[in-house]
Amino acid sequence: MRLDGKVALITGGASGIGLATSRKFVREGAKVVIADINLDQAEAAAAAIAAEGFEGSVAAVRVNVSVFAEVEAAVARAVEVFGKLDVIFNNAGIAGGKPLLEHDPVADYEPIIRVDQDGVYYGILAAGRQFRAQGTGGVIISTSSIYGEQAAELSFTYSAAKAAVISFTRSAAYELAEYGVRAVAITPGRVGTPIINQFSEELKAVFASEQLRNKLTEPEEIANVVAFLASDEANVINGTVVSVDDGYSVFKQRLD
């Protein structure tokens, strides 16, 4: 019960990493608001977790993280339902990309920047203000990616947005330390969620081979780390990137 008594808002909580993290947080004693653009799926996720013996510990709210007023409203909803906010997990994201010179400069740039970059900025701003108003401190965890630290095929825009998440995390840790707020980014590698599962078995095998255990990471494995980072046990992890990529970033090529 390492999150006993904490209240968390988890964006993109209806699927993949966010869903696994919502379930893990509740099992660790937290109250969770699942915030997602897909309200039906968020409500279904909340109902499923509640039915596992956690009635009253989980709620759902619709949010488009690209709209600041909606992110503010989601924070306000968490406070209304559970009385306060202790943790925000800025995790909603979309992927995709084309070769750079094939880009439509609006369609292949703006949507990803609006969700993956602006959405995290808005989460930090709205939650940061709430933490300051409460005077309780708080934790901001944001999902970057291995692509936030390197160039990769078909990811010009996505890499930029995910790099911004790392920069936001450093600056937020610095600026919000006086309010007792911590900020951490995570960089997942290849995780078995709808973002990856849409690809062919062949491509998924290639993705798996890029990690040291030669398998896709389970969303639950990321959730375990996020729960630790959100807990008081991680109090000295601040302003930094926690790599959750099963060795992807330190390894180049298998010799066999």
3-class DSSP state of 35: strand
**158 given a catalytic annotation:** yes
How far, CA to CA in Å, does 84 sit from each of 5, 7, 67, 69, 190? 10, 7, 22, 18, 34
Residue 123 binds to ligand NAD (criterion: CB under 6 A): no
From candidates 24, 31, 61, 64, binder to ligand NAD by CB under 6 A: 64
Find the binding residues for ligand NAD in span 214-233 (CB under 6 A): none
| Least distance from ligand NAD to the Cβ atom of residue 91, Å | 5
Rg of the chain taking only CA atoms, in angstroms:
17
Residue 243 binds to ligand NAD (criterion: CB under 6 A): no
The answer to whether the beta carbons of residues 128 and 181 sit under 8 Å apart is yes
Residue 49 binds to ligand NAD (criterion: CB under 6 A): no
> Per-residue DSSP letters for 95-136?
-----GGG--TTTTTHHHIIIIIIHHHHHHHHHHHHHHHHTS
Find the binding residues for ligand NAD in span 93-122 (CB under 6 A): 93-95, 115
Helix (H) or strand (E) holding 153: none
| Least distance from ligand NAD to the Cβ atom of residue 4, Å | 25
Q: Pick the piece of the chain touching ligand NAD (CB under 6 A) from 63-71, 74-82, 172-180, 228-236.
A: 63-71
The one-letter amino acid code at 151 reads A
From candidates 7, 8, 11, 74, binder to ligand NAD by CB under 6 A: 11
| Least distance from ligand NAD to the Cβ atom of residue 167, Å | 16
Residue of 121, 122, 147, 158 marked catalytic? 158
Question: What are the CB-based long-range contacts (under 8 Å, 24+) for 150-155?
Answer: 150/249, 154/96, 154/97, 154/98, 154/99, 155/95, 155/97
Residues that bind ligand NAD (CB under 6 A): 11-12, 14-18, 36-38, 63-66, 91-95, 115, 143, 145, 188, 190-191, 193-196
